[in-house]
A and B are shown apart, each in its own frame.
Chain A
């Protein structure tokens, strides 16, 4: 089983990406949220300036969630293999 992190897109991010998820390779120590988002923008450059910068920094109005549990805007937060990162509008609900 390869070491991977799943990124799931919701709402306007999904609309722009045109896909609902992508997989990223990750080694034993994982990658940071910023590195994950950087990879996302390389695959989906249309997201640059929308939900994050090319450096993986989250734009205002967006938030990420790890495994449906932890909300964070900390781009140094480390994701471990097998974890899932949700990218979504910070305005959940309404």
Chain B
């Protein structure tokens, strides 16, 4: 069915270079679409990516409806740099209210979908409403159509992409969900070319709209303010991206973290009971490259090429032996966190997660939690779920994706599952705000502990890179002081800029001064005379906007904490890894005050005003505040 498109007069205005100055709004319920303008002021306030998408989500009432309600918006957002010759800029953000946390959820994913999506002629796409049955959305330039996806129901992410590619041709780029998204698994992903907008359940939001896939194609290019200078700057950035600061990613990928974190006793093992895994060295990528066929790949428009693929040695349990992308996070979550050292099984589990369309961190976290509950006798309906049992892991992933058996409860995530099992189980559920912890033992990385606790997305290492602070000379990671929290703010602000402008964070070691360098790139792309000080303010604005979204969505100060066990016990074998509830709350208060918020974390109007946010979030006195 072709969707009638309404075009507002404002959306026809000459846009700022780097932008189209408009977004596509699609209502699946009424089968209508509109082209709406975005003002130059709003583009400069929120840049693109995560920042712009959060703004659009809030503007379209995303905090006022349930994550899987029909009217819940799902936002795809590009950035001014997308399509430019700047390396690693082909990325997009997917933002919604998370079904896992109930809070803001912004996921970034790379590659050609960003390029094709922006060439549609828009800076973002807001999808609301719900199809009556399974459909996919085709956006061909400004021609929007919904088509039946009945034949795609239940098919894996990979199969769905292959089928649509066969039907539509290679010019269309695809974002799809797997069975997990269709079945409402709360940590379902959206997949593009095997890469995933992974965390927080955007795939479940898409599935709740009966939207199996989105296909985009276009030929609208934006102008660049200073194209010749931009070409030169891009060439220089590419040259620098080949240096030693990115060698880890290029040569080994993030999997190289595993041995290091194990040595630092910060590798979460057996549901965070330990910070070391005896078999970790078997999973080191230097070893993997010797044991498995190893290939390398990169996203579109990227010179780093961080993707490392390893091929399982045989095909079992219906999982093909195709090359599997290996990142630290899937290695840790499906390996040590579940007590599993069988690398072949971890590769197969990763592939199965990708096919089902589920986040590997939340999958590993929830399964590991269930394994410990079985061990302690708190979960009796799935006695086969045992630490170290790779067959159990694969079986659990299959059940999660299909929402069958214990997969129904596992698909809720560890927080909601633990509530069903009782207070003891709740105390060991490895989440913050419902989002499972990534691969950093917070008691042995206390800057990261605070970053997890205050994270607007929940326990997250991409919106707060505080682990960089822990693993540096800057702090004592076992004894963080309140005066150290400014380091956390810096990593959060940097992440907000990376995710909104958008650059890949793996470039971080390449920039001499991130804010200064990005200001120059933005000048070349947009023509804005933007300063590093302005960008610092922009980053703070975006962080605060996400917080305000959460306040609207029901955030309360007690949400900013860690799992109870982590505040009461050290990991086995590392007694110095200890943080108490009082210590954590002191650090959280120091963080809040450093942000210009109240000690509890409410955002006063005195802070909103200089961030130019009052108009969007309204009168802050309408939300509870306390000094």
Contact = CB atoms under 8 A, between A and B. Distances in A.
B256 A12 contact: yes
Nearest to A18: B286
Interface stretch (B154-162, B200-208, B468-476, B618-626): B468-476
B472 A71 contact: yes
A12 B259 CA distance: 12
Contacts of A88: 260
Interface in B350-398: none
A10 B473 contact: no
A93 B506 CA distance: 10
A73 B473 CA distance: 8
Contact of B248 (A60, A65, A71, A91): A91
Contacts of A62: 244
Interface string B488-515: 0000000000000000011011000000
B251 interface: yes
A14 B468 CA distance: 21
Nearest to A62: B244
Interface in B317-368: 328
Interface in B62-78: none
B244 A93 contact: no
Nearest to B478: A69
B257 A15 contact: no
Interface in B214-264: 243-245, 247-249, 251-252, 254, 256-257, 259-261, 263-264
Contacts of A82: none
B265 interface: yes
Contact of A94 (B243, B254, B263, B281): B254
Contact of A68 (B244, B265, B509): B265
A51 B465 CA distance: 23
Interface string A39-79: 00000000000110000000111110100100111000000
A51 B264 contact: no
Given A11-B252, A63-B472, A92 B244 contact: no
B113 interface: no
Interface in B261-280: 261, 263-265
B252 A91 contact: no
Contact of B264 (A11, A65, A91): A65
B243 A61 contact: yes
B461 interface: yes
B440 interface: yes
Contacts of B461: 93
Nearest to A49: B244
B454 to A, nearest CB: 18
A33 interface: no
B467 interface: yes
Contacts of A50: 244, 247
Interface in A1-19: 8, 10-12, 14-15
Interface residues of B, number: 33
Contacts of A10: 256, 259-260, 263
Nearest to A73: B473
Contacts of A65: 264
A91 B284 CA distance: 16
Given A89-B256, A90-B472, A93-B461, A15 B263 contact: no
A91 B256 CA distance: 10
Contacts of A63: 471-473
A20 B249 CA distance: 19
B256 A93 contact: no
Nearest to B474: A71
A36 interface: no
Interface string B274-307: 0000000100101000000000000000000000
Given A61-B243, A68-B265, A94 B473 contact: no
Contacts of B505: 94
A37 interface: no
Contacts of A61: 243-245, 247, 509
B245 A91 contact: yes
Contacts of B284: 14
A93 B245 contact: no
A83 B465 CA distance: 29
A14 B472 CA distance: 20
A59 B260 contact: no
A46 to B, nearest CB: 13
A10 B285 CA distance: 10
A94 B248 CA distance: 10
Given A71-B471, A92-B471, A94-B257, A15 B244 contact: no
A89 B248 contact: yes
A92 B244 CA distance: 14
Interface in B20-66: none
A68 B252 contact: no
A20 B281 CA distance: 10
A93 B251 contact: no
B265 A11 contact: no
Interface of B: 243-245, 247-249, 251-252, 254, 256-257, 259-261, 263-265, 281, 284, 286, 328, 440, 461, 465, 467-468, 471-473, 505-506, 508-509
Interface of A: 8, 10-12, 14-15, 20, 50-51, 59-63, 65, 68, 71-73, 86, 88-94
9 contacts: A10-B259, A10-B260, A11-B252, A11-B259, A92-B257, A92-B264, A92-B471, A93-B440, A94-B248
Given A10-B260, A90-B245, 17 more contacts: A10-B263, A12-B248, A12-B251, A20-B281, A20-B286, A50-B247, A60-B244, A62-B244, A63-B471, A72-B473, A86-B263, A88-B260, A91-B509, A92-B257, A92-B260, A93-B467, A94-B328
